[in-house]
Chains A and B, each alone.
Chain A
Amino acid sequence: MRHRARPSRRGRDSAIEKRLIRVAQGSAKSARRRLYLVLIMKHYLVTKKLLCVCRSKMALTQVSSNKCAGGFQKVFEHDSTELKCKMKFAVYLPPKAETDKCPVMYWLSGLTCTEQNFITKAGSQLAAAEHGIIVVAPDTSPRGCNIEGEDESWDFGAGAGFYVDATQDPWKSNYRMYSYITEELPKLIIANFPTNPDRMSICGHSMGGHGALICALKNPGKYKAVSAFAPICNPIQCPWGQKAFSGYLGPDKSTWEPYDATVLAASYSGPQLDILIDQGRDDQFLSAGQLLPDNLISTCSEKKIPVVFRLQPGYDHSYFFIYSFMNDHIKHHAKYLNA
């Protein structure tokens, strides 16, 4: 073996590469051996790249931690590759997480919310602790992206990501909440917390309810349970949805359909779902035609998708309503997550 001074990392890699190429091209006795060596080189390079990416992007910074219901309510911050900005999310770790892997329930919040509303107002921690479920509550949109107009409305832009992957400028670079929720965030959670990777469920309120429904319908079998509080069931047909989709996805309505729960339900095929929906009867947005649950119900009735929809008299759209039935939803999720 020739002895030489240790080159720089890059230099060393390319030396190895050169060696491999030489061997592959030159003195290999058979074509098969050459093929193997080429494959090895390819895999080596790819893995190296991935490792670099993973290492830098899996880093989490803890922002806060409070002991709650025997477990811990924490908030973390990280650099998101999908959203290209710093994102915060809340994680509740039940007592069971100290010793065992736990299933994960993702909670998607509604318009104007951050990761704080759910953890301070919804009263989920006791039931999550009792059933041993990790609850992850991300923010509702990318933040601080310096996009013009992102802070103009409360129902579009910041705090109103609508859980879609935007295709229109100036949103398409940052506003990719659908991919963030379904791809990046789960990988981050699995890598950093004691989770059962194949036991996750999804739940949300209002715009988050819409997000939960579309994530479940677009990813058959990925979520073991789904439920929603006062969801936007048919965004194509309501003012909120129309404003958001035209801004994020453009004027062509066919690009909106893949993000509409009612439309997705009509063509759903996959493992059987069991959807629980609670809706306050005195919800102002229900009467304003923003939520349209009847459309979803009739489609699900036609397509035989099991839904139990409960109209709760006297309840409105607020977190007081969520708090009142959060226990029922967590029990519904626990039935499937702990089965």
Chain B
Amino acid sequence: NLQNQLQGKVAEMENFAGHLEEIFLTVEENFGRQEQNLEQHYNEVLQTLSQRYDDGASALQEEKKKKLESLYAQLLLCGQALDRSKDLIETAQEVHRNQDRRLFLKVMKSFLSGFLINTRVQPVLLERTPLADLSDVKTMMDSINVVPAPSAPVINPQTPNSASQTSLRVCWSLFSDDTVEFYELYYRPVLEEPPADSSIPSPPVVRQRDSSSCPEAALIRWESGNANPVDSYTVELREAGSDGAAESMVAVPACQCLVQLQAGRRYLVSVRAVNIGGPSDRSDVITVSTTGTFFHLLEDTAHPCLSISEDGFSVFYGDEELPISAMALDDTTFTRCVAVLGDLIPVRGRHYWEVEVDEDTEFRVGVAYEDTERNSYLGTNRTSWCMRHIRTPSRHKYEFLHDGWSPDLRITVHPVRVGVALDYERGTLSFFNADLEQNLHTFHCRFQAYVLPCFSLDNPGALTVHNGSGAPEHVFAITFY
């Protein structure tokens, strides 16, 4: 057992390492993509910037040319002015040489005022050019770190069992490329007026006999009760004897519903049919108990020679020969082995039931897959496991059959009450002498599908199935050989 645990742990660790690897690869991928995005972004920004630079530069060049030209023009003017001034000075010198001082002064006065006016130089200012508009580059830089907005989630269609009278479960999916911080859920009640010509359906027919249960769950089955198809069913359940609110499962599409329950309680269950006109009246109420595993026998599977008692828990194999006409040509009934299957709830937990037999009853009890061969004997194929009791004049013989093979065992005290314990998790099917709490034999098998209890009588006799009380402590306390 320790070895198995160790192996299990090693497998877990390998799994974990595999997951880590996956995560690492995904992170690497994401990083690669982010890198690419960033590079692209920055390239764009750089391009825009260089574009702006080019634009700005050419404008500046233009201005420089213009200013230089105006300066040159001014210089020319200055040069001309200087030339004129030179001429005037030579004229003045000449006049001065003429020795007419009065004429010289008059000429100088008009000459100077004209000179001053003509030689004013225009100052050349280099204006401050406005910076190019870089606001869009700024936006681009900012947008590099912004995560793109996610795409709209897709709401899944409503699943059955996802609503009660006061709550509703909504599921949706997101795209793997999106990064999401939170979701916002909006809802509003919708009131639709039913069309005038529709009528509400009749209540379904629920029978105690069609349900099965175990400590963790119950399987409720019913008949529609309506000739026309209905939209869905609503299953209502309430814990018996408590004032607690009823829970409802809405939108149940088929005529059965597997309900998770708490162990050791009793529940009252009823069903309504729902169509466009609204819900039907409540069906009859049945009681479901989560103490131990409870099931009825599947009468459809019973061999024609097997008769089932009123309460449905005892089977008899009578002496009389049945007429050939009674032999049904049904796919589900056993045709050779006088056997019947039980309606065990399909839950992979622990189940226990007992079978009461007489001293001399030759029986086979055990489990079988639902599709076990109806024309072969229990235990002789790979789809059934059973304990077989053979009565010889001198003694009792026991076989524990699967695939036609049995270990060689002697049991000294004949069990009249056989306990059968099925544990899906451990993969065991154990048989006990329930009165002595004595373990007889255990099959070890990882059941691939759900199994059903099977019971058969090899010779005329009777057996009674007892279930619905919890397993005695010794049954699941320890792993059996």
Contacts and interface: CB of A to CB of B under 8 A. Distances in A.
A334 B441 CA distance: 17
Contacts of A325: 481
Contact of A304 (B2, B396, B413, B479): B413
A269 to B, nearest CB: 15
B136 to A, nearest CB: 73
Contacts of B439: 308, 332, 335
Interface residues of B, number: 24
B410 A328 contact: no
Q: Which 4 pairs between the two chains have the least Cβ-Cβ distance?
A: A328-B481, A311-B408, A300-B412, A309-B410
A130 B478 CA distance: 12
A306 B439 CA distance: 10
B408 A313 contact: yes
Contacts of A281: 408
Contacts of B481: 325, 327-328, 331-332
Nearest to B5: A130
B478 A331 contact: yes
B409 to A, nearest CB: 6
Contacts of B109: none
A95 to B, nearest CB: 12
Given A281-B408, A297-B410, A297-B412, A274 B480 contact: no
Contacts of B1: 130
Contacts of A311: 407-410
Given A272-B436, A297-B410, A327-B481, 15 more contacts: A130-B2, A274-B438, A297-B412, A301-B395, A305-B413, A306-B412, A306-B413, A306-B436, A308-B438, A309-B409, A310-B409, A312-B408, A313-B408, A331-B479, A332-B481
Contacts of B407: 310-312
Interface of A is mostly: mixed
B322 interface: no
Contacts of B411: 306-309
A126 interface: yes
Nearest to B1: A130
A339 interface: yes
A310 B408 contact: yes
Interface string B463-481: 0000000000010011111
A131 B409 CA distance: 26
Interface of A: 126, 130, 272, 274, 281, 297, 300-301, 304-313, 325, 327-328, 331-332, 334-335, 338-339
Dominant SS among interface residues on chain B: mixed
B74 interface: no
Interface of B: 1-2, 395-396, 407-413, 433, 436-441, 474, 477-481
A300 B410 CA distance: 11
A308 B408 contact: no
A306 B413 CA distance: 5
Contacts of B479: 331
Nearest to B436: A306
Contact of A308 (B396, B409, B437, B474): B409
13 contacts: A130-B1, A274-B437, A281-B408, A300-B412, A306-B436, A307-B413, A308-B441, A309-B410, A310-B409, A328-B481, A335-B439, A335-B477, A338-B478
A307 B410 contact: yes
Nearest to A277: B410
B480 A339 contact: no
Contacts of B409: 308-311
Given A126-B2, A310-B408, A332-B481, A339 B474 contact: yes
Contacts of B441: 308
A308 B440 contact: yes
B413 A301 contact: yes
Nearest to A339: B474
A311 B480 CA distance: 18
Contacts of A309: 409-412
